[in-house]
Amino acid sequence: MAHKFEIYKDKAGEFRVRFKYNSETMFSTEGYSSKASAKAAIESIKKNGPDAEIDDTTD
């Protein structure tokens, strides 16, 4: 699969989510105190991401 979500622990011991496409990290989230919260973030991104507005501030 070319894209995936990864849950990992940062140096502070918090759970984070990063989205990777072809092994390149496209974005990562803030730190969460629990793995369940990181998983909830993934579900929120999946649910709300497709309809997210694009705000192009370069114009």
- The answer to whether residue 59 scores a pLDDT higher than 90 is no
Give per-residue pLDDT as tens, 32-41. Answer: 999 999 999 9
Can you identify the CATH homologous superfamily of domain 3-49?
YegP-like (3.30.160.160)
**Strand 15-21 vs strand 24-28: parallel, antiparallel, or unpaired?**
antiparallel
Measured on CA atoms in the order 26, 7, 2, 54, is the torsion positive or negative? negative
pTM of the full structure? 0.84
